[in-house]
Amino acid sequence: MDKQKELAKNTAIITLGKICTQLVSFLLLPLYTAILSISEYGIVDLVITYSTLLLPFITLALEQALFRFLIDARDDYEEERKIISTVVVISLSILICCGLIIAIIFLVSGRTVYLLFGLVLFGSVLSAISLQSARGLGDSIGYTLGSTISAVIQIVFNVILLVIFHLGATGMMIALFLGNLSCFIIICYRCHLSKFISLHYCTKDTFRRLTRYSLPLIPNQLSWWALNTSDRVIVQIFIGLAGNGLIAVANKFSGVYIQFSNIFNISWTESAAFHIYDKDASDFFAQTINGVYRVFLSGCCGIIVCMPLAFPLIINDQYDAAYGLIPIFMLASLFNVIVSLYGVIYVAYKKTVEIAKTAIYAASLNILSHLMLVRFIGIYAAAVSTAIGYGGMALYRYFHSRKYLIIKFSTSTKILSLVMIIISLISYYCLGKILQIVCALIILALSVIINKRMILSLLSIVKNKMREHSLGGK
């Protein structure tokens, strides 16, 4: 199968499974912001933040190695068993020890939040291992099914526990645990993971090989944590839990946007690992990175120009202070897209040390800029420092990745990027409705121009499919 078609097919499978649940989750935002106070939303956000921080320590980032090494071991059942068994046994052993510590803290303090934190962490580990197993085994449908059912279960229980039982933040955390647990159960059943797991196949040699790849990813994941969520910790110290609630809401819009990038990145990483040593690898990477960036640039600017209309319809009045943060977080997410597109080059070559280095630089830049700015611009420092961190990382990887593959953005793409971003920001922060409408139409026109080739290609595919269907019906 042609590389581009293979990539498009895998992306379509994953997207179809994710898009509906993401849409429903987003549409439930008015419910969450109406029922939860700003402080309650902040507590949920912090629990997720700290569980994300601990995850790479508990798994030793082995779930990342699990995916990458299973790709090379496909059709080798014995090797697959060694890889999966080693990751599961080591991760669960560390998780049990961590669980005992959390249980002791809960018994001593009597605070339910520690128990809920343990549940969220436990579910996150199970979900991460099962999802990466499905990816590594080449079961895109299984991956999609697991993550989709997880999202559906989480949404259903959020509604039940918040609306019917009025459990507030506690209900949201229980729903998150149940969603992750359901993901683990579904993938275990579909991929028959039990047949891959045995203490006998947990070997020292496999552990050494996996950790040689995964250990550099721990500082990398910590750096991503710093980029994504350390802002919450700093805001809690300088501003309070209410500030975390505002950031959580402002991030929801860029969060939905970046989910689509993550969806694409799942299939993009797999395709890159398979084709990195092909003769035409450079052309394949250049076409993909340039084409996908233009799509996400259009999406970013499109969301920004539509937000003045959408925000008051979706978000409760008590969260109005989050409005000004949204475009800055959107730009940070666009930089994140560039980071991910170029980061796949390092993954394909197994250069995890380089991945960690670039992430550490960006995280340091993010934290330092936040601490310097928070006293002057308050909560806006969280959004600005995130954009600085991702922007610095994107710039670094854009040039540094040329050690392996030389992939550049065209001059026209760079110029149009600058023009579209400026127009979007003018539209967002101005109060004139006519100017906002004009800016939105300009962004639409530029989006069509910049993605003309992809649009024509999609129209050609649709025409061919309709022609085939018409001929088949005769």
pLDDT of 142 > 80? The answer is yes
In this prediction, residues 353-375 reach a mean pLDDT of 86
pLDDT of 276 > 80? The answer is no
Residue 332, CB-side half-sphere exposure with 13 Å CA sphere: 26
Instruction: Fill in the amino acid letter for 353.
Output: V
Residue 213, CB-side half-sphere exposure with 13 Å CA sphere: 21
Q: Which residues of 76-94 are buried (b: 16+ CB within 10 A; e: fewer)?
A: eeebbbbbbbbbbbbbbeb
The tens digit of pLDDT for each residue in 56-113 reads 888 888 988 898 889 888 888 899 999 999 999 999 999 899 999 999 999 998 888 8
In this prediction, residues 131-160 reach a mean pLDDT of 86
In this prediction, residues 304-312 reach a mean pLDDT of 86
Q: How many CB atoms lie within 10 A of CB 473?
A: 6
Give me the pLDDT at residue 20, please.
Answer: 52
The tens digit of pLDDT for each residue in 384-395 reads 998 999 999 999
Is the separation of the CB atoms in 421 and 302 below 8 Å? no
Is the separation of the CB atoms in 273 and 346 below 8 Å? no
Q: Which are the contacts of 260, defined by CB distance < 8 A and separation ≥ 6? A: 15, 296, 299
Give me the pLDDT at residue 379, please.
Answer: 84
Q: Is residue 240 left, alpha or beta, with left meaning phi > 0 and alpha meaning psi from -120 to 50?
A: left
Alpha-carbon span 301 to 443, nearest angstrom: 7
Position 406 confidence tier, pLDDT thresholds 50, 70, 90: confident
Alpha-carbon span 196 to 14, nearest angstrom: 24
The tens digit of pLDDT for each residue in 259-274 reads 788 777 777 777 777 7
Alpha-carbon span 11 to 15, nearest angstrom: 6
Give me the pLDDT at residue 241, please.
Answer: 65
Alpha-carbon span 246 to 45, nearest angstrom: 10
Position 126 confidence tier, pLDDT thresholds 50, 70, 90: very high
Tokens 């071991």, residue located: 73
- 145, two tokens: 């099914």
pLDDT of 447 > 70? The answer is yes
pLDDT of 293 > 90? The answer is yes
Alpha-carbon span 15 to 9, nearest angstrom: 10
Using DSSP's 3-state secondary structure scheme, residue 29 falls into helix
HEC sequence for 321-362: HHHHHHHHHHHHHHHHHHHHHHHHHHHHCCCHHHHHHHHHHH
Residue among 120, 79, 85 at smallest CA distance from 202:
85
- 221, two tokens: 């994941």
Q: At what angle do helices 112-136 and 77-109 cross, to 10 degrees?
A: 170
Position 22 confidence tier, pLDDT thresholds 50, 70, 90: low
Give me the pLDDT at residue 195, please.
Answer: 92
pLDDT of 12 > 70? The answer is no
Q: What's this model's pTM, rounded to 2 decimal places?
A: 0.69
Give me the pLDDT at residue 461, please.
Answer: 65
Q: What secondary structure letter does DSSP report for 155? A: H
Give me the pLDDT at residue 29, please.
Answer: 67
